[in-house]
């Protein structure tokens, strides 16, 4: 069994999301050029995966495939950072609209293993739709990361693994702090980890004010990956808006170093991840 700090930690940056806007933080990127430039800046700061949503120029969440193509082409022209598309989109999109990012040929795709209340709205991912997204990604040679917001989602993801819907070792992103999902606490981290097979590549994401605390807990627990970015947190310190995704990545890299963890390089990330 490896020790908690034996492997370097992979840093993912969630660039823009679909549920945060410039009234939350004026520095959130909207256009394809802004999103790509922000991802490249995050890579220069130490992130090796860019988690991507796309928007119209006014910030409206979008599922237009040409926007995903444009963003990924721009990122690849300027950086070797791995690209991951969300198939979460926003809650008013159809499954078809949520999966257009697959058409851009990303390195990785997210897939939700369950539905949930998301604040005052309900985010629906029927199990057949989730399995369909997984099949589309696998058929296209795109690696999968399961996005989970509660313990039942983790159990469902492990069932998919047992059924062969997704391949071993599983990549999974444990998300804390979403209103309607699991809380951000040490006990919640233990609960989310309990069902996972030991070879799982797991990443911790925390939405909101407990962001740095949960990343620190993950690092000390030996997490293979952590995630930061303007999708997840508006403030870099109390009352101070994060000026960029790169600044949040620098924070996460510094936190890792303080806690005795090395940060994975781009080459190490490609070796550590089950990219197929």
Phi/psi at 176 (nearest 5 deg)?
-120, 150
Q: Please count the other Cβ atoms lying within 10 Å of the Cβ belonging to residue 240.
A: 10
Output 91 or 260, whichever has higher pLDDT. Answer: 260
Q: How confident is the model at residue 145 (pLDDT cuts 50, 70, 90)?
A: very high
Q: If DSSP codes are grouped into helix, strand and coil, which group holds residue 186?
A: helix
Give the mean model confidence (pLDDT) for residues 251-266. 98
Percent of the chain with pLDDT over 70: 99
Q: Residues 92-109: pLDDT tens digits?
A: 899 999 999 999 999 999
CB–CB of 152/117 below 8 Å? no
From the centroid of its chain, how far is CA 224? 13
pTM of the model: 0.97
CB–CB of 37/76 below 8 Å? no
Rounded CA-CA distance 248/202 in Å is 20
Residue with tokens 């985010």: 123
Note the pLDDT of residue 2.
59
From the centroid of its chain, how far is CA 9? 14
pLDDT > 50? residue 1? no
CB–CB of 25/47 below 8 Å? no
> What's the CATH code, domain 10-272?
3.20.20.70
Note the pLDDT of residue 90.
86
Q: How confident is the model at residue 89 (pLDDT cuts 50, 70, 90)?
A: confident
CB–CB of 220/259 below 8 Å? yes
pLDDT > 50? residue 74? yes
Q: How confident is the model at residue 192 (pLDDT cuts 50, 70, 90)?
A: very high
pLDDT > 50? residue 115? yes
Percent of the chain with pLDDT over 90: 94
Domain boundary assignment for the chain: 10-272
The per-residue pLDDT of the chain, averaged, comes to 96
CB–CB of 197/168 below 8 Å? yes
Beta strands, E only, 41-126? 49-52, 54-55, 61-62, 82-85, 108-112, 116-118, 121-123
Q: Residues 158-171: pLDDT tens digits?
A: 999 999 999 999 99
Give the mean model confidence (pLDDT) for residues 200-223. 98
Note the pLDDT of residue 3.
82
Note the pLDDT of residue 92.
87
CB–CB of 10/252 below 8 Å? no
Give the mean model confidence (pLDDT) for residues 112-121. 93
pLDDT > 90? residue 193? yes
């Amino acid at each position: 069994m490896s020790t908690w700090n034996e492997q370097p930690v992979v840093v993912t940056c969630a660039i823009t999301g679909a549920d945060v806007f410039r009234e939350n933080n004026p520095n959130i990127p909207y256009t394809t050029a802004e999103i790509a430039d922000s991802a490249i800046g995050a890579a220069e700061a130490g992130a090796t995966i860019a988690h991507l949503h796309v928007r119209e120029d006014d910030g409206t969440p979008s599922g237009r495939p040409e926007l995903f193509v444009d963003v990924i082409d721009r990122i690849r022209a300027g950086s070797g950072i791995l690209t991951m598309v969300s198939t979460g989109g926003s809650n008013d999109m159809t499954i078809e609209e949520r999966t257009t990012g697959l058409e851009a040929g990303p390195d990785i795709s997210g897939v939700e293993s369950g539905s949930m209340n998301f604040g005052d709205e309900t985010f629906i991912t029927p199990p057949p739709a989730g399995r369909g997204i997984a099949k589309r990604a696998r058929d296209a040679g795109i690696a999968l990361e399961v996005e989970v917001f509660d313990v039942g989602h983790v159990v469902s993801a492990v069932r998919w693994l047992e059924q062969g819907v997704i391949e071993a070792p599983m990549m999974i992103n444990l998300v804390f702090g979403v209103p309607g999902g699991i809380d951000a606490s040490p006990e919640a981290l233990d609960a989310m980890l309990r069902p996972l097979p030991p070879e799982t590549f797991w990443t911790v994401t925390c939405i909101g004010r407990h962001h740095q605390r949960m990343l620190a807990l993950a690092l000390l627990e030996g997490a293979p990956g952590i995630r930061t970015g303007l999708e997840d947190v508006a403030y870099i310190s109390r009352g101070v808006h994060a000026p960029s995704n790169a600044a949040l990545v620098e924070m996460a890299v510094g936190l890792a170093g303080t806690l005795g963890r090395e940060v994975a390089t781009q080459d190490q990330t490609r070796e550590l991840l089950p990219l197929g």
